[in-house]
Amino acid sequence: MNYNELVAIKERALKAMGPRAADHTLKEIKERTVLVCGGTGCTSGKSRVILEEFREEVAKAGLSDRVKVIMTGCFGLCALGPVVIVYPEGAFYSQVHPEYVHEIVESHLVNNTVLTKYLYKETVKEEGVIKALNETDFYRKQHRLALRNCGVIDPENVEEYIARDGYLALYKVLTSMSQDDVVKVMLDSGLRGRGGAGFPTGRKWMFAKASQADKKFVLCNADEGDPGAFMDRSVLEGDPHAVLEAMAIAAYTIGSDQGYIYVRAEYPIAVQRLRIAIKQANEYGLLGNNIFGTGFNFNVEVRLGAGAFVCGEETALMVSIEGNRGEPRPRPPFPAVKGLFAKPTILNNVETYANVAQIILNGAEWFASMGTEKSKGTKVFALGGKITNTGLVEVPMGTTLREIIEEIGGGIPNSKKFKAAQTGGPSGGCIPAEKMDVAIDYDNLIAIGSMMGSGGLIVMDEDNCMVDIAKFFLEFTVDESCGKCTPCRIGTKRLYELLTKVTNGTAELEDLDKMEELCKYIKENSLCGLGQTAPNPVLSTLRYFRDEYVAHVVEKRCPAGVCKNLVSYSIQPDKCKGCTACARKCPVGAISGTVKNPHVIDKAKCIKCGACMATCKFGAIVKG
C-alpha cells in the first residue's frame, strides 16, 4: 500500500458509498442507501432479521442496482431501536418491526413516498415533510467526533473507513512526523484519557517513548466495566478501524511493534467486528510488516476478558493478559517503564484512541478549541435509567447536565421528578438536582463528589431510593474486589453491612458517622483504584441525600418506598370499592374483606410483593 493507492481506494469507496448524507433538496433520486443499525441494542431487537428482509425485498422489487442495504454501528438513539435510516432523504424509521419492511420498501423505495407513520415522530414536520436529524432535540447539541463514523459506515468494510479519511493520519505520521512531533501534537491537543482518570495522553506516550527497551507494547482497554455503560462497545462495533489506526500511531510514537486489545467477553459483536477489521487491515497492508513501505511493523491481537471488573485497572489488565488472576500490583514501577511482560507499555481507553487520528489530521489547535480550559474535546455518555431518550450522546466538554438530561435526553418519563444522575459507575457519585447546571468536565465533577469515569450516566427519579443505590454499588464492589488488599476486601464488606442495617431499619444515627469514617479509611489505604474509589457512591449520597438516610434510621421509613423491610402496604377505606381483585391476587392470602366493602391487609402476613397495588384499579392501595 502506498499513498496513491490509499487515495485511489478513498475515491472509489466514496463513490460506492453513494448518498449517505441527508440531502433534502434533491428533486430526483437515483440511488438510495438503507442503513440498518447493527449495534447490540438494535440487534437484540432483531435488526439482523430486518437487514435480511430489506435485502430480500429490495431484490424482489428489482432495485438491487439502485438501492444499497448496509448494516452500520449505533446511531445513538437506542430507546427507539431497531432503527433504520434511508438516505439521501435521511428518513429515520424507528422501532421497526420485520413486518414493516415490505411496506417501507413498497412505499419509500419503489413509489418514492416516505412512510411517515413509521418515522421517529420528532423528525416529521408535517405530513410528508421531514426534518433533518441534526435538527431534532436529541442530535442538535451533540458533536460527534469519537462517534463520527458510528452509524455512517459499514464497520465490516475497511474501504468505507478509508473513504472517511481512514489511515491518512497513520500515513501522515509515518511519512512526515518524528516521534517527538506526535508527542507534541498530543500534548498540545490537551487530550485526556477517557477511561476514567483523565491522565494526559501525550504525557503517557512521552514517558513510554523515553523508556529504553528491546520490546514495547501498546494496549487498548476495552474492558468497559462500569455496569450500565456502552460507549466503548459502540465505538468498537461501529468504527473498529479508528482504534486500530490510533494504536498504530501510538506504536510508532513509542517505538512498539505489538498491540493487544483487551475486550470484555460480554461483547461478542464488538469482538467479531474487531477481528474482521484486523484481518482486513492486514490484507490491505495497513497493519503488519513494512506499513506504507516505511519499514514500520505493527501487529494487533485481541484478548478476551472473563468477567472481572478489576481487570479494567491498568496493572490488573496486564497481569490478566499474561494469563494470571487479574490482581493489580503496586505502582511504581509504572507501566511506561515496566508493564506487560515487564516491558514498557502504554494503555489507553477505546474512546481516547477514537480521537487520535482526528487530532493528527486536523491539528492540536482544532481539538483544543473545543471544551473547557482543562478538559478539551468531547465526551461520549451512555444515557440510561429513567430518561426518555436512552442511548449514546457525544457532547463538547462543558455541556451541563441539564442540557444532557432535559434537552438531549428528553427529560424523565411518566412525569416523574428528577432525583439524581449517577456518573462514574461504581467509582463515581450521585449528582443532585441543585448541581444540574454545573458544566461537565473532569475537574468540576470531582469537585461535586462524583467523577467522569468512562461515561455512564444513569438518571434516577423520585422512585429510586438513594440508600438502596449506594448499597447496589457497594454490593458490586464487594463482589468485584479481587481480595488482594485488606482495606478493600474487608472494608467494603463492613461498609455493605452497615448499609444493610440502614435499609433494614436497624441502624442507629452513629452508624452514619461510622460509615463516613470507614469510607475515608478505605479510600486512603486501598492498593488500587477500585478500593480507593469504592466509597464514593456512599459518600456522595450521604452528602446530598443525608435526609433519606436519616429517614431510614430515625423514622424507620424509606421515602421512595423501595427498601422492603421499611415499606408497608395499606388500603385507604374511602377509595376501596370492595371489588376483591386484590384479595384474589394476593399470593399469601393477607387481604380480607367482603364484596363492596373496604378490604384490609394483614401486615403480619403481608410479604410486600406489591401485587395488590399493581392490581388495584382505584389507586386505593398506598405504600409507605
Partner 1 sequence: MAQNAKVPFNGTKAQADELEKVLKGLKNVEGALMPALQQAQDIYGYLPIEVQEVIADRLGVSLAEVFGVATFYSQFTLTPKGKYKIGVCLGTACYVKGSGEIYAELQKQLGIESGITDDLVYSLDATRCIGCCGLAPVMTVNDDVYGKLTKDQIAGILAKYKA
Ligand X SMILES: Cc1cc2nc3c(=O)[nH]c(=O)nc-3n(C[C@H](O)[C@H](O)[C@H](O)COP(=O)(O)O)c2cc1C
Chain residues binding partner 1 by CB under 8 A are 40-41, 44-45, 78-79, 81, 225-230, 233, 265-267, 303-309, 320-326, 341, 382, 384-386, 390-391, 422, 425, 456, 458-460, 464, 469, 472-473, 482
Told to check if 193 binds ligand X by CB under 6 A, we report: yes
Distance, CA of 228 to CA of 270 (rounded, Å): 17
* Strand pairing category for 296-304 and 288-291: antiparallel
| Residue 72 site contact among partner 1, ligand FES, ligand X, none (CB < 5 to 8 Å, cut-off depends on kind) | none
Cis amide leading into 537 (omega within 30): no
What would the x/- binding string for ligand X be over residues 422 to 461, using CB under 6 A?
A: --------------------------------x-------
Shortest separation between residue 304's beta carbon and partner 1, angstroms: 6
Q: What is the dihedral of CA 575, 577, 581, 586, to 10 degrees?
A: 50
Distance, CA of 579 to CA of 147 (rounded, Å): 55
Q: What is the dihedral of CA 419, 424, 426, 429, to 10 degrees?
A: -40
> 167 CB contacts (<8 Å, ≥6 apart)?
6, 161, 241, 245, 286
Shortest separation between residue 167's beta carbon and partner 1, angstroms: 28
- 3-state DSSP assignment of residue 158: helix
Q: Which is nearer to partner 1, 136 or 189 (CB)?
A: 136
**Distance, first Cα to last Cα, the chain:** 70
Q: Which is nearer to ligand FES, 228 or 330 (CB)?
A: 228
Name 420's bridge partners: 432, 460
| Residue 40 site contact among ligand FES, ligand X, partner 1, none (CB < 5 to 8 Å, cut-off depends on kind) | partner 1
- Which residues, 295 to 354, sit near ligand X by CB under 6 A? 310, 312-314, 347-349, 352
| Residue 45 site contact among partner 1, ligand FES, ligand X, none (CB < 5 to 8 Å, cut-off depends on kind) | partner 1
Q: Which is nearer to ligand X, 197 or 606 (CB)?
A: 197
With beta carbons less than 8 A apart as the criterion, state whether 419 and 393 touch.
Answer: no
Q: Which is nearer to ligand FES, 201 or 422 (CB)?
A: 422
Q: What is the dihedral of CA 127, 132, 135, 137, to 10 degrees?
A: 70
Shortest separation between residue 456's beta carbon and ligand FES, angstroms: 9
Told to check if 293 binds ligand FES by CB under 6 A, we report: no
Q: Which of 315, 304, 168, 170 is nearest to 236 (CA)?
A: 304
Q: What angle do CA 446, 450, 453 make, to 5 degrees?
A: 90
- Using CB under 6 A, which of 68, 164, 194, 599 touches ligand X? 194
The single-letter DSSP state of residue 334 is P
Shortest separation between residue 228's beta carbon and ligand FES, angstroms: 4
Shortest separation between residue 125's beta carbon and partner 1, angstroms: 26
Distance, CA of 365 to CA of 271 (rounded, Å): 34
Q: Which is nearer to partner 1, 318 or 498 (CB)?
A: 318
Query: Three-state SS string across 177-222, please?
Result: CCHHHHHHHHHHHCCECCCCCCCEHHHHHHHHHHCCCCCCEEEEEE
| Residue 541 site contact among partner 1, ligand FES, ligand X, none (CB < 5 to 8 Å, cut-off depends on kind) | none
Sign, CA dihedral 569-572-573-575, equals negative
Q: Which is nearer to ligand X, 331 or 603 (CB)?
A: 331
Told to check if 307 binds ligand FES by CB under 6 A, we report: no
- Which residues, 505 to 544, sit near ligand X by CB under 6 A? 528-530
| Residue 267 site contact among partner 1, ligand X, ligand FES, none (CB < 5 to 8 Å, cut-off depends on kind) | partner 1
Name 262's bridge partners: 221, 303
Query: Three-state SS string across 478-538, please?
Result: HHHCCCCCHHHHHHHHHHHHHHHHHHHCCCCHHHHHHHHHHHHHHHHHCCCHHHHHCCHHH
Told to check if 195 binds ligand X by CB under 6 A, we report: yes
Distance, CA of 572 to CA of 581 (rounded, Å): 15
Q: Which is nearer to ligand X, 225 or 339 (CB)?
A: 225
Distance, CA of 267 to CA of 39 (rounded, Å): 11
Q: Which is nearer to ligand FES, 228 or 483 (CB)?
A: 228
Q: Which is nearer to ligand X, 166 or 195 (CB)?
A: 195
- Number of neighbouring beta carbons within 10 Å of residue 483: 11
Told to check if 197 binds ligand X by CB under 6 A, we report: yes
Q: Which is nearer to partner 1, 110 or 611 (CB)?
A: 611
Told to check if 196 binds ligand X by CB under 6 A, we report: yes
Q: From residue 427, give the alpha-carbon distance in Å to each of 152, 446, 486, 529.
A: 33, 11, 18, 8
Options 125-133, 216-224, 416-424, 611-619: segment touching ligand X (CB under 6 A): 216-224
Q: Which is nearer to ligand FES, 227 or 411 (CB)?
A: 227
Q: Which is nearer to ligand X, 19 or 193 (CB)?
A: 193
Shortest separation between residue 442's beta carbon and ligand FES, angstroms: 24
Distance, CA of 220 to CA of 244 (rounded, Å): 9
| Residue 382 site contact among partner 1, ligand FES, ligand X, none (CB < 5 to 8 Å, cut-off depends on kind) | partner 1
| Residue 425 site contact among partner 1, ligand FES, ligand X, none (CB < 5 to 8 Å, cut-off depends on kind) | partner 1
Shortest separation between residue 587's beta carbon and ligand FES, angstroms: 27
Told to check if 624 binds ligand FES by CB under 6 A, we report: no
Told to check if 228 binds ligand FES by CB under 6 A, we report: yes
Shortest separation between residue 317's beta carbon and ligand X, angstroms: 7
Max CA-CA distance within the chain? 89
Distance, CA of 384 to CA of 395 (rounded, Å): 16
Shortest separation between residue 156's beta carbon and partner 1, angstroms: 18
Q: Which is nearer to ligand FES, 231 or 553 (CB)?
A: 231
Distance, CA of 589 to CA of 605 (rounded, Å): 8
The set of cell numbers assigned to 540 is 456522595
Q: From residue 90, give the alpha-carbon distance in Å to each of 38, 68, 86, 94.
A: 17, 14, 5, 12
Q: Which is nearer to ligand X, 58 or 382 (CB)?
A: 382
Shortest separation between residue 195's beta carbon and ligand FES, angstroms: 18
Distance, CA of 262 to CA of 152 (rounded, Å): 25
Q: Which is nearer to partner 1, 228 or 573 (CB)?
A: 228
| Residue 442 site contact among ligand X, ligand FES, partner 1, none (CB < 5 to 8 Å, cut-off depends on kind) | none
Q: How many residues bind ligand FES (CB under 6 A)?
A: 2
Residues at the site binding ligand FES, with contacts judged by CB under 6 A: 227-228
Residues at the site binding ligand X, with contacts judged by CB under 6 A: 193-197, 199, 221, 223-225, 310, 312-314, 347-349, 352, 454, 528-530
